[in-house]
């Protein structure tokens, strides 16, 4: 019996030892397999169209092919506002992506959220090649907070065929509010039935016209000398803009779809030959040129400004890429390196050619000039001229406030009231009161 018991015990011990050894072997194998997998770097971006989102994913694949330790996972997350909101929520749940695509007027909100690490704090890298007016926008408190990516500004699009029909010179497009109205009046008198100016009813254009006049949208140095506590919507420069839009509309020259922020609808009005002049982003140059095809000859000009103002320059629109906190330093450095790759000289040249966005690097512009790009695509030249002539000051650096999105909507609704017959001064005063209240409520959090 003792021998039988000893034999059984021996067998149990052998099985146990074998099983234990097998578990250790399996665990070691699993650990080795896990360590051989690249670390994922999550990048949330906002472009929903196949062209731009595909370009980002292709570049991520290129980067991944030469980096075995890390893998960029690029994901379209929603609109600009939705992407930022999702990132803040994910951070609170400790599952934040490494990189987030943030629109320019979301910069103060992104900064205040506390979830982002200024990219200028992650090692040393050269920012001198980035176009200065672009870099200025994303420099807060003397530190580069994010890397500029898709940058743009508004320009004037021209139906040259209509200008010729009206007896106007398309090579000398109007450059002031007054010249726009005079050109429309002359075209109408010449029988051009679609004489007029179209632009999407969006606060971005209002902000550009403030900057061109050297005027801030908020106090405290446009929010850059200190936290903004009051909007400047009732300034004389603001009233000039409102009155220009009112005059255009009263004379039957302003054309839009009736909706707020209707980029596509506004572009369609111009593309279909239903307006002589159109104002929209440089980023739309590629798409609009393709849509027009051979229906008419398109030209471009600088953004028209008030005739009483010296041209000060434009504010950068678009978005940049921010880096979230809380990740291992090696992953943060890899994330930074990917964004520097995404925005390198050659990639930014390709990006500009495909879309019309500025390439954000001086070296990209130099190479484009050397290869004769601006001779091949003359409509692109004016955008760079306008940007490079921009004065660097608090107005063109762009305003900072945590309620910028709300303020844009408030301004748009105020302009729409004026289009529907409301008094300019009363509409502006109501808008300022509401915008200041929103800003005050926001600032109570800090």
* Residue 138 sits in the same domain as residue 165: no
Does 19 map to a domain? Answer: no
User: Residues 414, 427: contact at Cβ < 8 Å?
Assistant: yes
* Residue 191 sits in the same domain as residue 114: no
pLDDT band at 35 (very low <50, low <70, confident <90, very high): low
Instruction: Check residues 360 and 17 and name the one with the higher pLDDT.
Output: 360
> pLDDT value at position 288?
94
* Residue 103 sits in the same domain as residue 122: yes
Does 349 map to a domain? Answer: yes
Nearest to 276 by CA among 255, 262, 307: 255
pLDDT band at 184 (very low <50, low <70, confident <90, very high): very high
> pLDDT value at position 102?
97
Q: Mean per-residue pLDDT for 357-375?
A: 93
User: Please, is 242 exposed, middle or buried when counting C-beta atoms within 10 Å of its C-beta (0-12, 13-18, 19+)?
Assistant: buried
Q: How many structural domains comprise the chain?
A: 2
Rg (the chain; Cα; Å): 27
Question: What CATH number is attached to the domain comprising 43?
Answer: 3.40.190.10
* Residue 168 sits in the same domain as residue 126: no
- Average pLDDT taken over every residue of the chain: 91
SS3 88: helix
> pLDDT value at position 12?
36
What is the number of other CB atoms lying within 10 angstroms of the CB of residue 413?
16
> pLDDT value at position 1?
42
d(CA 101, CA 220): 27
* Residue 340 sits in the same domain as residue 195: no
**With 50 as the cut, is the pLDDT of residue 21 above it?**
no
User: Please, is 225 exposed, middle or buried when counting C-beta atoms within 10 Å of its C-beta (0-12, 13-18, 19+)?
Assistant: exposed
> pLDDT value at position 36?
75
Does 357 map to a domain? Answer: yes
pLDDT digits 0-9 by tens, 145-163: 999 999 999 999 999 999 9
**With 70 as the cut, is the pLDDT of residue 9 above it?**
no
Q: Which residue has the tokens 């529907």?
A: 420
* Residue 275 sits in the same domain as residue 290: yes
User: Residues 335, 123: contact at Cβ < 8 Å?
Assistant: no
User: Residues 118, 324: contact at Cβ < 8 Å?
Assistant: no
> pLDDT value at position 125?
82
Q: Which residues pair with 67 in a beta bridge?
A: none
Does 12 map to a domain? Answer: no
pLDDT digits 0-9 by tens, 71-93: 999 999 999 999 999 999 999 99
What is the number of other CB atoms lying within 10 angstroms of the CB of residue 260?
16
* Residue 227 main-chain phi, psi, to 5 deg: -60, 130
SS3 410: helix
Pairing, β 317-324 against β 116-117: antiparallel
Instruction: Report the sign of the C-alpha dihedral through residues 98, 100, 104, 110, in that order.
Output: negative
* Residue 140 sits in the same domain as residue 53: yes
Does 379 map to a domain? Answer: no
**With 80 as the cut, is the pLDDT of residue 11 above it?**
no
* Residue 114 sits in the same domain as residue 263: no
Instruction: Check residues 259 and 356 and name the one with the higher pLDDT.
Output: 259
Kindly write down the DSSP assignment for every residue of 98-109, as one continuous string.
Answer: SEEEEEGGGHHH
The residue range of the domain holding 219 is 154-313+394-443
* Residue 207 sits in the same domain as residue 305: yes
> pLDDT value at position 55?
97
Does 388 map to a domain? Answer: no
* Residue 208 sits in the same domain as residue 333: no
User: Please, is 4 exposed, middle or buried when counting C-beta atoms within 10 Å of its C-beta (0-12, 13-18, 19+)?
Assistant: exposed
pLDDT digits 0-9 by tens, 272-325: 999 999 999 999 998 999 999 999 999 999 999 999 999 999 999 999 999 999
Helix 236-250 and helix 404-419: axis angle, to 10°?
40
User: Please, is 386 exposed, middle or buried when counting C-beta atoms within 10 Å of its C-beta (0-12, 13-18, 19+)?
Assistant: buried
User: Residues 275, 146: contact at Cβ < 8 Å?
Assistant: no
* Residue 278 sits in the same domain as residue 409: yes
* Residue 250 sits in the same domain as residue 175: yes
**With 50 as the cut, is the pLDDT of residue 182 above it?**
yes
Does 14 map to a domain? Answer: no
> pLDDT value at position 383?
86
**With 50 as the cut, is the pLDDT of residue 122 above it?**
yes
Does 132 map to a domain? Answer: yes
């Amino acid at each position: 019996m003792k021998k039988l018991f000893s034999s059984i015990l021996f067998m149990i011990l052998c099985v146990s030892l074998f099983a234990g050894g097998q578990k250790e072997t399996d665990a070691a194998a699993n650990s080795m397999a896990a360590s051989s997998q690249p670390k994922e770097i999550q990048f949330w971006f906002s472009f929903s169209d196949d062209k731009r989102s595909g370009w980002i994913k292709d570049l991520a694949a290129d980067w991944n092919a030469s980096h075995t330790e890390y893998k960029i996972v690029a994901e379209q997350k929603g609109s600009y506002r939705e992407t930022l909101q999702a990132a803040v929520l994910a951070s609170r749940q400790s599952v934040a992506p490494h990189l987030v695509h943030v629109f320019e007027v979301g910069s103060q909100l992104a900064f205040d959220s506390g979830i982002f690490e200024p990219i200028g704090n992650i090692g040393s890298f050269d920012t001198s090649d980035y176009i200065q007016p672009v870099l200025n926008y994303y420099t807060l408190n003397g530190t580069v907070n994010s890397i500029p990516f898709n940058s743009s500004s508004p320009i004037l699009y021209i139906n040259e065929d209509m200008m010729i029909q009206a007896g106007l010179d398309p090579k000398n497009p109007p450059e002031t509010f007054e010249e726009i109205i005079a050109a429309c009046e002359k075209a109408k008198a010449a029988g051009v039935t679609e004489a007029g100016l179209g632009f999407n009813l969006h606060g971005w254009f209002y902000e550009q016209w403030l900057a061109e006049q050297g005027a801030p949208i908020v106090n405290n140095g446009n929010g850059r000398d200190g936290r903004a506590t009051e909007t400047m919507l009732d300034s004389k420069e603001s009233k000039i803009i409102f009155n220009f839009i009112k005059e255009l509309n009263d004379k039957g020259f302003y054309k839009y779809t009736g909706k707020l922020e209707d980029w596509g609808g506004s572009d369609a009005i111009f593309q279909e030959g239903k307006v002589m002049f159109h104002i929209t982003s440089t980023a739309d140059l590629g798409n609009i040129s393709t849509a027009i095809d051979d229906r008419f000859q398109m030209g471009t000009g600088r953004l028209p400004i008030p005739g009483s103002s010296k041209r000060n320059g434009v504010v950068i629109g678009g978005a940049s890429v921010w880096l979230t906190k809380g990740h291992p330093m090696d992953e943060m450095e890899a994330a930074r390196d990917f964004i520097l790759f995404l925005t390198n000289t050659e990639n930014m040249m390709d990006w500009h050619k495909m879309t019309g966005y500025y390439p954000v690097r001086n070296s990209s512009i130099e190479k484009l000039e050397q290869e004769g790009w601006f001779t091949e695509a003359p409509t692109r030249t004016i955008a760079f001229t306008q940007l490079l002539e921009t004065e660097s000051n608090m107005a063109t650096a762009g305003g900072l406030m945590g309620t910028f999105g709300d303020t844009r909507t408030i301004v748009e609704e105020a302009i729409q009231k004026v289009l529907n017959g409301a008094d300019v001064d009363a509409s502006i005063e109501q808008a300022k009161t509401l915008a200041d209240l929103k800003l005050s409520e926001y600032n109570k959090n800090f």
